[in-house]
Amino acid sequence: MKIGLVSYHREPNYGTMLQAYALAYAIEREGTSCSYLDYRYVRKPLWRKLALKLANVLGLVKQGDFAFFDTKEFRQIRDKFAIFHRNLIPVSKHKYYADNIKSALNDYDMFMVGSDQTWSPYMNRNPYCINFLQFVEEETKKCAYAPSFGTLRIAKEYGEQLSAYLNSFKFISCRERQNCAYLSSLLHRDITYVVDPTLLLTTKEWDIIAVEPKLGKNSYILAYILGEKDCIAQYAEMIGNKYNLPVYYIATRPCYMHKQNVLDNVGPQEFVGLIRNAAYVVTDSFHGTLFSINYEVEFYSFAKREAKTKEIMNDNDRILVFLRELGLENRFKEDNDVTLELPIDYTTVHDRLEPMRTFSRQYLNKIIK
């Protein structure tokens, strides 16, 4: 059995790359071979490739939300991501494009849509996207583990698209319980709720790749902020002042490069080590929240977007929804909330999380065996 994985796996985002690593690790841990399809929408002509390389060398910014990663300022971080991807993410030997994607049918026995926001209505607007495995005709070869919609608000038009594509999947699961219920009613079949791939791995398994920070154990506040809201950094600084601990910022955007304690050389492995050793984590990230829980670290989570944008995108619902599963909803803070909570009772959290983790592992094994 060889499984072809379809998910985001090379973007310079800690959660994206670590969830990709985790899913492949969990599959291969069971003795099944897998790799991510090295898929590109279209073939870039040679002149285009050379122009992009030149832009990187000159530190020129390309268009896009994460264009700053191609500047000199973020070069160390970008290189860390590239090394992690090259060494620890299994990727297909062949490159696939829209005009030859069907050749992957000769290379794999089954195809699995992975986690992250692979079924997001905002991510699937490109006509060449393959996140619904449109190129696979046999139902027995199509499955999904923990894809996320990134939102709990799904438009009727997108529901019609989902119905057309997903009815042919043999196994379907989802990372949001509410969206499992939505898909169940849409497709008239049971959709399985499973945890994010990063939670399939124990802390001992994450420790294998974690890089030990030089900051000491429980001696700092870690601010991992993907958005740019001032209130999140202010909350982290408030905790730091209360406990006389420095606040260290992972450089996720140019605005954090100017912080006093900025960490501008953090790759995915350093990221895991930093969360493991932090006294507190303050974040607006789904995976920042999950790693904090897995390592039983005190944390506070915020919505990434401002109120108006949040109403449109609403991609932080998933944080609060999962925290409710574990009885940790008080760890999700509104922007104007400056209160602190009592320490987390991780014994109770463990009692809730472990059955979910065990069931999810069993479900994954059911697919791949």
Q: What is the pTM of this model?
A: 0.92
Find the largest Cα–Cα distance for the chain. Answer: 60
pLDDT tens sequence across 110-157? 999 999 889 998 877 778 899 999 999 999 999 999 999 988 888 899
Rg (Cα) of the chain, in Å, rounded? 20
- For the chain, which domains are there? 2-200+355-368 (3.40.50), 210-338 (3.40.50)
pLDDT at 63: 43
The string over 333-368, giving b where at least 16 C-beta atoms fall within 10 Å of a residue's C-beta and e elsewhere, is beeeeeeeeeebebeebeeebeebbeebbebbeebb
pLDDT tens sequence across 265-294? 999 999 999 999 999 999 999 999 999 999
Residue 10 structure tokens:
């090379």
Ranges of the chain with pLDDT below 50: 61-64, 309-313
Choose among 42, 6, 367: nearest CA to 192.
Answer: 367
